[in-house]
Chains A and B, each alone.
Chain A
Amino acid sequence: MTGPGTGFLYPFIDGDERDGAGLLDDLAGSAAAKQADSHRLRAATLQACSGEIGRAADALVRRFGAGGRLFAFGNGGSATDADAFVSLFARPPRGRALPARSFLADQAVVSALGNDVGFDLVFSRQVIAYGSAQDVAAAFSTSGSSANVLRGLAEARRRGLLTLGWTGYGGGDMATSGVVDHLFVVESSSVHRIQETQDAVATALWVEVQRRMADE
């Protein structure tokens, strides 16, 4: 019954097991360890990325100042990270609201493009439709190698948009693509820990943008 993902971490107990107390202790201990891992990775990544966060914030402030807009995209959980990033800018918990939109927001557009031209092009085609040279494209991928994300970034670069990329696993293809102006790499092989830390970096970037705009 032990599954491939987690079974090695926990004692195997047979189907007649009835006392859940031991399991709950194990689970609570595991949860505490995961949180500690996540916090360590977050702190290390924020430190490693601090210079890039500052440079990206400077560039974003210039783009917004010139009338640019922010577009974000990703797949699956990373799609929701893109949505969160957009929400942080467009409907911020505090500070100044800025124009931002997710390329996942419209099911009709995503499914039309996916069906007619292929899922690899669902983001690049939206860059073509909506993007202009003063805008910003922000892409989230835990592997850094999602084809549609990379094509979206490449199209954005071709059209003069500022490009931001979040990746994990040593950077993946995103790190070698040469189309990302500001790259944030989370050095982990856990999809979950990567996503949590990408969100922390994205939020730190938003904080820096807000700080610069408040100083203007």
Chain B
Amino acid sequence: MGGRAGHRAGAGAEAALPDAGPFRDLATTALALARRFRGGGTLWCVSPAWPWHARHVAVEFVHPVVVGTRALPAVSAEGPDVVAALRVGARPGDMVLALGPAGDATVADVMRRAPTWGLRTVWIGAGPRPGPGAADHVLWAGGDEGVTAFDGGLVLVYHVLWELVHVCLEHPGLLVEETVPDAAAVCVTCADQGTVAEVVALLSGNRASVRAGGVLEEVDVTLVDVPAPGGLVLVHAGSAVAVVQDGAP
């Protein structure tokens, strides 16, 4: 939340108050999460580099410190293969909140794949920011990433986020549920733009089953050297048109 202006551990409050941008981002993120909670979504928390932060966020939502505040479903996903855990555990309409530096390859992978599972993504970190489009919501603290992870800087970001989510939940008129794609009703890959999809299974006849936006569909893979299940492809109008390489969608 030190954000663009940044702040240092121990700095005085007035010394480096950031501009309004990061606070507006925090507010927007809170509203998006509140909408998903309202729709029955679960918040998945991931932090390979700082696993205690994922547990802290989860316990904040599940067992709020403010008496009378409702418990909301949040889970810390840990273990050797977080991607596999989320792929099988998360449902369309859920959320994933990852904490880690911009260079965290596992977080980047989760952020890249999560939309194919129908998840909204939040990335909280410190130090150099990840590139544009790295997640639906990027909340960044200033300071040295190695120290801000420990000195309360990141904790402040998710404490405030938790509180703002609960404020949003008191405004039901603003919590119109987002539409989760219905497999029977729409083809999510027929829009004008390409959509990132995760390969689920290879089928005969140059076809593959893929998941995009949490919805399974069958696409043509004649145009690409289709990756094994778990690989990512860019799909347009019912055809895979490119393979998405790690770090370069």
Contact = CB atoms under 8 A, between A and B. Distances in A.
Given A1-B172, A43-B12, A80-B59, A196 B152 contact: yes
B139 to A, nearest CB: 10
Nearest to B144: A93
A212 interface: no
Interface stretch (A27-35, A54-62, A123-131, A169-177): A27-35
A34 B156 contact: yes
A79 to B, nearest CB: 8
Interface stretch (B50-58, B114-122, B203-211): B50-58
B9 A83 contact: no
A184 B55 CA distance: 24
A29 B23 contact: yes
B107 interface: no
Contact of A10 (B20, B156, B167): B167
A199 B155 contact: yes
Contacts of B63: 76
A37 B172 CA distance: 29
A14 B152 contact: no
A188 interface: no
B7 A39 contact: yes
Contact of B152 (A32, A40, A42): A42
A84 B47 CA distance: 12
B150 A199 contact: yes
Interface residues of B, number: 57
Interface stretch (A17-25, A145-153, A154-162): A17-25
A196 B66 contact: no
B150 A203 contact: yes
B28 A24 contact: yes
Contacts, number: 183
A135 to B, nearest CB: 21
B13 A36 contact: yes
B170 interface: yes
A202 B173 contact: no
A31 B59 contact: no
A38 interface: yes
A15 B17 contact: no
Contacts of B160: 30-31, 34-35
A7 B26 CA distance: 18
B68 to A, nearest CB: 4
A10 B170 CA distance: 10
A195 B159 CA distance: 10
A20 B145 CA distance: 33
A191 interface: yes
Given A10-B167, A28-B27, A200-B10, A192 B150 contact: no
Interface of B: 1, 7, 9-14, 17-18, 20, 23-24, 26-28, 30-31, 50-53, 55-56, 59-60, 63-70, 144-147, 149-152, 155-156, 159-160, 163-164, 166-174
Interface of A: 1-7, 9-10, 12-18, 20, 23-32, 34-40, 42-43, 46, 76-77, 79-81, 83-85, 87-88, 93-94, 142, 191-192, 195-200, 202-204, 206
Of all A-B residue pairs in the complex, the 7 with the closest CB atoms, nearest first, are A93-B146, A17-B173, A27-B27, A199-B152, A39-B13, A196-B152, A83-B52
Given A77-B59, A87-B52, 10 more contacts: A5-B163, A17-B171, A17-B172, A18-B174, A35-B1, A35-B17, A39-B12, A80-B56, A83-B52, A197-B152
